[in-house]
Amino acid sequence: MNSHGFGRSKKIMEFIPADAHWYDIMLPFMLAGTLILSWVSGRNASLWISIINRWLRWVTFSTAAAYFAFSMGVFEKPFWLLFTAFFLCWFLVETVYHWVAIKALSNSSVPLFPDFIENPQGEEWPAQKRFLAIRKWLKENSYRSICSLRAELMPGIVLRMHVSQSEDNKTRVQVLFIPQRNGTVSMCFTILSQTVEGSRYVTDNMFLPFGGFYPENWYIERRPLIRTFTRLFNSHKKRIENTKEVFVPWDDDAIDDVNQQQSTLERVNTDMGFLNPISQRGEYGKITWEGRYRVWKEIWMLNYFGKPSSY
């Protein structure tokens, strides 16, 4: 480093007290980083940014709370012990929040496996570059549009799905548009192939917590951190190429198959104890206590590690 570099470093060090700790220096940057990442995540709906922001927010809260408690002498404990206590406090508070939210969902009228109907507006793609790029790829690779669907979760909140099929009819692509609370729209992909025995290979990048069970003849691979369609498609293609299964064309109607998927998942999860029997849902809610635990665990795994906890 030249003399000018040493001069600049010396001037910077003059603003830092000699007895300053790492949290005195880093805390302002951590707070600014949390605000910036929250703003970016709200605009881009990026799963990677959301995960980084959640970890940073957790550490920032723990550091800030420990800093004020230590500086004001509220607790006569070492800083690292206060940091650990507030770190665990965040975990407890967020756990309570998730349990309350899961209970509210369980007792609400929102369907866990909604029925889809034909979209009366026809094919709808958000007018953004990242969405239109997927539409272009499907057309360029001879995937024809076979239907556009919608499912109303509650008044004003609608899931929309676009289904395409390959030229040989052996691969189906479901593009699901999910509205977010901040007004943005997230996009998830599900790629399906079925074997001559009736099994199906499913590759998706769904980031919504599920926590339930799948039928035994469904081979699921969930990759929520893969947000690029071509990467997910190549992963699915590699999976089916590496099996000894014989894959056959899809010959049933797409809307019937989607709703049959939903019915099958609801039946399997009722049988496996994830959902309460229909006759008991009015009193106990839709999701059993074991099911709520599984959903809570998957929320944590997805929010902080970007991976589902179960298949």
Q: What is the DSSP string of 251-268?
A: -S-HHHHHHHHHHHHHHH
For range 263-279, the mean pLDDT:
95
pLDDT at 24: 58
**Which residues neighbour 235 within 8 Å (Cβ) at sequence distance 6 or greater?**
203, 221, 223, 226
Q: Taking Cα atoms as reference points, which of 111, 86, 158, 87 lies closest to residue 275?
A: 111
pLDDT at 9: 45
Q: Taking Cα atoms as reference points, which of 37, 67, 72 lies closest to residue 52?
A: 37
Distances (CA, A) of 150 to 22, 135, 171, 210, 257: 52, 18, 21, 20, 14
For range 296-311, the mean pLDDT:
87
Q: Outline where 179-253 has alpha helix (H).
A: 229-241
The span from the CA of 17 to the CA of 29, in Å, is 17
pLDDT at 25: 63
**Which residues neighbour 178 within 8 Å (Cβ) at sequence distance 6 or greater?**
159, 185, 186, 187, 188, 208
pLDDT at 45: 60
Q: Hey, which bits of the chain come out as E strands?
A: 117-118, 144-154, 157-165, 172-179, 185-195, 200-204, 218-222, 247-248
**Type of residue found at 106:** S
Distances (CA, A) of 124 to 59, 140, 263: 41, 18, 25
Q: Outline where 79-157 has alpha helix (H).
A: 79-107, 129-140
Q: Taking Cα atoms as reference points, which of 305, 223, 306, 206 lies closest to residue 265?
A: 206
Q: Taking Cα atoms as reference points, which of 36, 34, 30, 25 lies closest to residue 54?
A: 34
Query: In percent, how much of the chain has pLDDT > 90?
Result: 59
Using the predicted structure, report yes or no on whether residue 43 has a pLDDT greater than 70.
Answer: no
Using the predicted structure, report yes or no on whether residue 228 has a pLDDT greater than 80.
Answer: yes
How many other C-beta atoms lie within 10 A of the C-beta of residue 54? 16
Using the predicted structure, report yes or no on whether residue 4 has a pLDDT greater than 70.
Answer: no
The span from the CA of 271 to the CA of 265, in Å, is 10
Q: Assign 174 a pLDDT band (cuts: 50, 70, 90).
A: very high
Can you name the residues that pair with 148 across neighbouring β-strands?
162
**Which residues neighbour 107 within 8 Å (Cβ) at sequence distance 6 or greater?**
285, 286
The SS3 of residue 66 is helix
Question: Dihedral (C-alpha) 222, 224, 227, 231: value to the nearest 10 degrees?
Answer: -30
The SS3 of residue 216 is coil
Tens-place pLDDT, residues 22-39 = 555 667 777 777 777 777
- pTM of the predicted structure, to 2 decimals: 0.83
The span from the CA of 140 to the CA of 161, in Å, is 20
